Structure 1
């Protein structure tokens, strides 16, 4: 068995980190290293993934989850001749969240296939760093959201705060 691994301690809620790593619609928005993802990141679902390190290859994977804790993406050749399992583990740690990403390769064809596997150490480090950056940014934003049940946005033109983006275009300049 051969593997690659990276982890980061993130100053954000576990739910925030989980939401980021399971939101396939936004994987290409932030610097995840994934250039395309088709499917849904839910238990038992198939996905197709393209990465920067994989070039034009599309990886067909199967998702398994213990929601809020662990997600795996499993792929490879039939009959277990070559298998890859990428495991994303989210663990609360003292008010913060530990994210660990590990991909293990195994199977009888591991030896000959290993030469086709690029060095993923840097890609994994970049991925967890990007999740950390996104989660901490979102975490700071979540901390600013008022807990009161009142209106989160001011009325148009009342001068009490920023206007929503769609209202900005309606303001006339003097």
Structure 2
């Protein structure tokens, strides 16, 4: 298994971050990597997402919600080609670090036959993309929500 992990402190309450993070229609306003998510956040539900990385065409992927802990975290599972080759579990996790500080953990765990070799050339791009996603979330919340 391979993991891409990013973290960022967002200077607002955890509940505020959760409301933005789970409001999928807002993704187009702040998320440069996953600008579209359609579907309902519930265990066993299907979400259709669009992924955008620099220099690559947008890709649509059907994902399945694997876990939801309201106010704290959720995870979806998606795959490229077939789950046997590359499958990813994308986790969005929030931890309160004080009255107005939330740690946002944005990580993906990959498995499958090609997860190691396939990730080598993509690892930096994924890491950069997730960091841009974190920054987009923080900037959106600071400019639109916390005032």
| In structure 1, C-alpha distance between the alignment counterparts of 2:102 and 2:115, rounded to whole Å | 33
Q: Which secondary structure state, in structure 2, belongs to the residue aligned with residue 19 of structure 1?
A: helix
| In structure 2, C-alpha distance between the alignment counterparts of 1:40 and 1:130, rounded to whole Å | 22
With the length of structure 2 as denominator, give the TM-score of the two structures: 0.82
82 and 52 in structure 1: CA distance in 2 versus 1, 3 angstrom threshold: closer
Number of corresponding residues: 140
RMSD: 2.1
2:131 to 101, 125, 137: 125
| In structure 1, C-alpha distance between the alignment counterparts of 2:129 and 2:44, rounded to whole Å | 25
Deviates more, 1:28-37 or 1:64-73: 28-37
Compute the displacement of 1:102 (Å).
Answer: 0.5
Q: Is the 8 A contact 1:4 1:102 kept in 2?
A: yes
Query: Which segments of 5 or more consecutive residues in structure 1 lack a partner in the other structure?
Result: 142-174
29 and 97 in structure 1: CA distance in 2 versus 1, 3 angstrom threshold: same
The equivalent residue for 2:105 is: 100
Larger Rg: 1
Compute the displacement of 1:37 (Å).
Answer: 2.1
2:74 to 66, 71, 74: 71
Q: Is the 8 A contact 1:12 1:139 kept in 2?
A: no
The equivalent residue for 1:84 is: 88
| In structure 1, C-alpha distance between the alignment counterparts of 2:120 and 2:146, rounded to whole Å | 43
138 and 35 in structure 1: CA distance in 2 versus 1, 3 angstrom threshold: closer
| In structure 1, C-alpha distance between the alignment counterparts of 2:4 and 2:75, rounded to whole Å | 14
Compute the displacement of 1:44 (Å).
Answer: 2.4
Q: Which secondary structure state, in structure 1, belongs to the residue aligned with residue 38 of structure 2?
A: strand
| In structure 2, C-alpha distance between the alignment counterparts of 1:128 and 1:136, rounded to whole Å | 12
The equivalent residue for 2:62 is: 60
| In structure 2, C-alpha distance between the alignment counterparts of 1:26 and 1:89, rounded to whole Å | 18
With the length of structure 1 as denominator, give the TM-score of the two structures: 0.71
Compute the displacement of 1:117 (Å).
Answer: 4.4
Query: Which segments of 5 or more consecutive residues in structure 2 lack a partner in the other structure?
Result: none
Deviations 1:132-156 (A, max 9, x none): 1122234532xxxxxxxxxxxxxxx
Q: Which secondary structure state, in structure 2, belongs to the residue aligned with residue 12 of structure 1?
A: coil
Q: Which secondary structure state, in structure 2, belongs to the residue aligned with residue 134 of structure 1?
A: helix
